[in-house]
Chain A
């Protein structure tokens, strides 16, 4: 049985930030990640971040990832890869599949920072090779240097859809069209504009009718939908594409939280079933904290701040940080977070987060 003061499940921006903040204050931390490399989605993000200097604006995702890793390592945080946490049991005991054997690990505090997985929408032909998640397109191009295809259709105009479309253009692919069943572009206008100015058309209120091809995608037909999401007759349009990317939303990977009986709240604006948590990022199960997309689909910048809050709160709860400095620092983080959850895009998420806080009071 291995013992740690704090365990982070997930070495993405949230998990690493929590580890760093706790370790800075003297907590002994181990971070487990199921992948063979740390950083979560950060290393695939090759665009410059928004926000202000304190939110690490202007830095590209992969540069932030590198610096988080270096900082964690300099603070003696253990990062253990190829490790799948199979469950959190009573008293924060975990069974972790480390490479090819199972280890029993006990921690006083756990931060679940497992991120989210991609949604999918089924349509005739969606199982054909060539239909991939938008994250897969990023992984192929930005991590492995392989173009997913020559010419693609992007389904979804949220930030993932428009950012990945731009990244595909940078990778040398053609983007035939960006579609969304919703009537308006979901992501930031500036992300969409970077793509539109290269000549890529945006078709809102459209969905995929069918993917064509014998053994792989050879083309796609899209169709307009009305306000009740029903296809409008006679509006089919065909495109010659060899790849269809699905960017249709993210869903928190909350399995271990539900296993541990954390209270979950259905918040559509945050991606689905979300663990209730307080301002310290602590769930309804004492000792289990959450940070990042698993606690609501947002961005890397908010994931890092949530991680910082969780790490700080844990350090405080274990006596490593006194009350006054704890409140001062935490309030600083909360102020910074407010800035990110402002404006028409952030407001909905702020409201969603308030619902989670309310659930904790019940």
Chain B
């Protein structure tokens, strides 16, 4: 029984497994790396052009899914605000013993502040725990898409993809 993206509106763990933009667990433990959650063939390639180390490949046929070269990727997060679908994140499982960093695109107000404790949400919007806001970046060249860095429990790093402020 299909329960994936086209049924629920969010990518299932099954679908994520076969996406060419997902780095291995080993690479994630080495330091920050891009996680490209793009699984539908639509004509789109800004991510490829945005990568300064050529770690993202789409190719001539712009409907190709973006392929991530995890060894070339340095986790600079330039690609996060570029993706029109807000499907790119950066995960760093090497951050601390118990915590990982997750960087997400964010286009809402109010922006959180560094140090805020927020509620972390997974792809389905389900509350999965607390997160600490480590950094909020919103520069002119990001065209109004901010990048928020969250610290979450390590085991949640491939689940947390959004947050909401605590009331």
**Direct touching of A and B (C-beta under 8 Å):** yes
- Does B167 sit within 8 A of A, measured CB to CB? no
| Structural contact, B123 and A196, CB atoms closer than 8 A | yes
Q: Which of A226-267 contact B (CB under 8 A)?
A: none
- Does A345 sit within 8 A of B, measured CB to CB? yes
Given contacts A193-B11, A196-B123, A199-B125, contact A188 B108 (CB under 8 A): no
Neighbour of B9 across the interface among A157, A169, A183, CB < 8 A: A157
| Structural contact, B9 and A53, CB atoms closer than 8 A | no
- Does A192 sit within 8 A of B, measured CB to CB? yes
A-B contact count (CB 8 A): 129
* Smallest Cβ-Cβ distance to A63: which chain B residue: B143
| Structural contact, A52 and B62, CB atoms closer than 8 A | yes
| Structural contact, B6 and A60, CB atoms closer than 8 A | no
- Does A57 sit within 8 A of B, measured CB to CB? yes
Q: Return the CB mask of B19-57 against A: 1 if under 8 Å, else 0.
A: 000000000000000000111111111100100000000
Neighbour of B87 across the interface among A53, A190, A343, CB < 8 A: A190
- Does B7 sit within 8 A of A, measured CB to CB? yes
For B122, the chain A residues whose CB sits under 8 A away are 197
- Does A340 sit within 8 A of B, measured CB to CB? yes
| Structural contact, B10 and A197, CB atoms closer than 8 A | yes
For B39, the chain A residues whose CB sits under 8 A away are 189
Q: How many A residues are at the interface, by size bracket?
A: 35 or more
Q: Give the total of B residues in contact with A, Cβ under 8 Å.
A: 41
- Does A194 sit within 8 A of B, measured CB to CB? yes
Neighbour of A342 across the interface among B61, B83, B107, B161, CB < 8 A: B61
Neighbour of B84 across the interface among A48, A53, A339, A342, CB < 8 A: A48
- Does A49 sit within 8 A of B, measured CB to CB? yes
- Does A55 sit within 8 A of B, measured CB to CB? yes
* Smallest Cβ-Cβ distance to A200: which chain B residue: B125
| Structural contact, A344 and B41, CB atoms closer than 8 A | yes
For A162, the chain B residues whose CB sits under 8 A away are 9
| Structural contact, A190 and B7, CB atoms closer than 8 A | no
- Does A51 sit within 8 A of B, measured CB to CB? yes
* Smallest Cβ-Cβ distance to B87: which chain A residue: A190
For B10, the chain A residues whose CB sits under 8 A away are 192-193, 196-197
For A195, the chain B residues whose CB sits under 8 A away are 9
| Structural contact, A50 and B8, CB atoms closer than 8 A | no
Q: Please measure, in the bound complex, the distance between the C-alpha atom of A49 and the C-alpha atom of B46, giving whole angstroms.
A: 10
| Structural contact, A199 and B121, CB atoms closer than 8 A | yes
| Structural contact, B43 and A343, CB atoms closer than 8 A | yes
Q: Return the CB mask of A54-67 against B: 1 if under 8 Å, else 0.
A: 01011010000000
| Structural contact, A58 and B46, CB atoms closer than 8 A | yes
| Structural contact, B38 and A190, CB atoms closer than 8 A | yes
Neighbour of B121 across the interface among A51, A57, A198, A201, CB < 8 A: A198
* Smallest Cβ-Cβ distance to B10: which chain A residue: A196
* Smallest Cβ-Cβ distance to A341: which chain B residue: B43
For B61, the chain A residues whose CB sits under 8 A away are 342
Neighbour of A197 across the interface among B44, B83, B161, CB < 8 A: B161
For B82, the chain A residues whose CB sits under 8 A away are 58
- Does A355 sit within 8 A of B, measured CB to CB? no
| Structural contact, B86 and A194, CB atoms closer than 8 A | yes
* Smallest Cβ-Cβ distance to B48: which chain A residue: A52
For A345, the chain B residues whose CB sits under 8 A away are 40, 42
| Structural contact, A198 and B125, CB atoms closer than 8 A | yes
Question: Chain A's nearest CB lies how many Å from the CB of B19?
Answer: 11
- Does A47 sit within 8 A of B, measured CB to CB? yes
| Structural contact, A202 and B8, CB atoms closer than 8 A | yes
| Structural contact, B9 and A185, CB atoms closer than 8 A | yes
Q: Please measure, in the bound complex, the distance between the C-alpha atom of A268 and the C-alpha atom of B123, giving whole angstroms.
A: 33
| Structural contact, B84 and A194, CB atoms closer than 8 A | no
| Structural contact, B43 and A346, CB atoms closer than 8 A | yes
Q: Return the CB mask of B114-129 against A: 1 if under 8 Å, else 0.
A: 0000000111111000
- Does B5 sit within 8 A of A, measured CB to CB? yes
For A53, the chain B residues whose CB sits under 8 A away are 46, 49
For A353, the chain B residues whose CB sits under 8 A away are none
Contact sample, A vs B, 30 pairs, CB 8 Å cutoff: A48-B84, A48-B145, A50-B43, A51-B62, A57-B84, A157-B9, A178-B9, A188-B42, A190-B84, A190-B87, A193-B9, A193-B10, A193-B85, A193-B86, A193-B123, A194-B85, A194-B86, A195-B9, A196-B10, A197-B121, A197-B123, A197-B162, A198-B162, A200-B125, A202-B7, A204-B7, A339-B43, A342-B61, A343-B41, A345-B42
Interface residues of A (CB under 8 A from B): 47-53, 55, 57-58, 60, 157, 162, 169-170, 178, 183-185, 188-202, 204, 339-340, 342-346
